[in-house]
Amino acid sequence: MARADLLKTLIRSFKQNDKESFVKAAEYIIDEEKKKNHLVLADELKRILYSEQTNIQKSISVFQPITPPKDLDKNINLYEIKFPDRFFRDLVVNEMVENDLQSVIRDFQYWDTLVSNGIKPNNKILFCGPPGCGKTLAAEAIAGELGLPMLYVRFDAVISSFLGETSNNLRKLFEYASSNSWVIFFDEFDAIGRSREDESEHGEVKRVVNAFLQLIDSFAGRSLIIAATNYEKVIDNALWRRFSEVVQFELPNHAQIQILLKRNLNRFHGPENKLRELVDELIGFSHAEIERICQSIVKQCIFDNRDYFTQKDIERSYVKELRRKQARIANNTGG
């Protein structure tokens, strides 16, 4: 994001109708975004700045916020706008996933070049894999790398108790998204993308899937659509075909667990032999579970005003997370 002084100059010059100062501040921001390799954002800002409306007074409409779409039932926004500060360096994934994500970035950065050569960029991506393995973080990292805001879809708002209103909410959401460039993120996508062949599902679910298919086919916005699910087997086949890229996330392997422990415990020191033993115990744990164990260890150090962790800290945190994991598995299996 731009520095505070630049934002102040930008707003002040706009209010004073000082076009020269406004343009200088905007150009400086564009240059900073280029240096951060946010090329898509920089190009979009440049296009807006030097569009036909060169008079600041005529451009006021650009700064007027569009009324956010809401669910009529709950009267809450259908989305949250986030400005992620996460990047690929924050991810701990295997080489295949990293290559897939880099490919998504490259397609978006070369959008105009691909289109001019008759090739459609891959802008509809499906993230699959176990819970807590970095799907949401990866979506935030893509937004951060591209310098784009994230439109985080709130399914608690989109899914309505009113007959037909869920489809209408999706339509309002896509109409709003077409006004800008975003990373549009549908987390827990199976909530609306379940197979229409599932006999246990009622007619409203089928109508929602049909509506989503029509909306995603007709959407022409310059945005990335990313959907994430822990239950890819229940996703409707027609929806599967709409995604140009499917990225499969996995539980961390031995080397990745070591990275996660080192990254999360780097401010503290402790028994290295016990950490090595812990790595073996954590095979089968997710990224989120491992990070919770680390946070528990760090909290204990902070509470006790220590710059080191002990074997007891490790064992207590591990056992606590193991019990949580076992309880979740038992609940899911009805055991």
Question: How confident is the model over 5-24, as pLDDT tens digits?
Answer: 777 777 777 777 777 778 88
Per-residue 3-state assignment (H helix, E strand, C coil) for 136-204? HHHHHHHHHHHCCCEEEECHHHHCCCCCCHHHHHHHHHHHHHCCCCCEEEECCHHHCCECCCCCCCCHH
Q: State residue 64's pLDDT score.
A: 41
Domain 254-333 in this protein, CATH class: mainly alpha
Edge-to-edge strand ranges of the sheet holding 150-153: 79-82, 150-153, 183-186, 224-229, 124-128, 245-248
- Fold matches, 79-248 and 254-333: no
Q: Which tokens belong to 36?
A: 């951060």
Higher pLDDT, 155 or 123: 123
User: What are the residues whose beta carbons fall under 8 Å from the beta carbon of 193, sequence distance 6 or more?
Assistant: 209, 212, 227, 229, 234, 235, 236, 239
- What digits encode the pLDDT tens for the residues 103-121? 999 999 999 899 999 999 9
User: What are the residues whose beta carbons fall under 8 Å from the beta carbon of 309, sequence distance 6 or more?
Assistant: 265, 268, 269, 270, 297, 298, 300, 301
Domain 79-248 in this protein, CATH class: alpha beta
Q: If you average pLDDT over residues 247-262, what whole number do you get?
A: 96
pLDDT exceeds cutoff 90 at 273: yes
- What digits encode the pLDDT tens for the residues 122-134? 999 999 999 999 9
* Domain locations in the chain as residue ranges: 4-63, 79-248, 254-333
Single-letter amino acid code for the residue at 114: L
Q: State residue 59's pLDDT score.
A: 42
CA-based torsion, 281, 283, 289, 291: positive or negative: positive
Instruction: With H, G, I as helix, E, B as strand and everything else as coil, classify residue 109.
Output: helix
Task: Compute the distance between CA of residue 64 and CA of residue 14 in angstroms, rounded to an integer.
Answer: 13
DSSP string for 288-321: HHHHHHHHHHHHHHHHTT-SB--HHHHHHHHHHH
Please give the mean pLDDT across all residues of the chain: 85
- What digits encode the pLDDT tens for the residues 37-62? 777 777 777 777 776 444 444 443 34
- 153 and 186 Cβ atoms separated by less than 8 Å: yes
Task: Compute the distance between CA of residue 105 and CA of residue 97 in angstroms, rounded to an integer.
Answer: 13
Confidence of residue 255 (pLDDT cuts 50, 70, 90): very high
Give the residue from 243, 220, 85, 78 showing the smallest Cα distance to 155. 78
Task: Compute the distance between CA of residue 329 and CA of residue 324 in angstroms, rounded to an integer.
Answer: 9
pLDDT exceeds cutoff 50 at 256: yes
- What digits encode the pLDDT tens for the residues 62-88? 444 456 677 666 677 888 999 888 999
Percent of the chain past pLDDT 90, that is, above it, reads 54
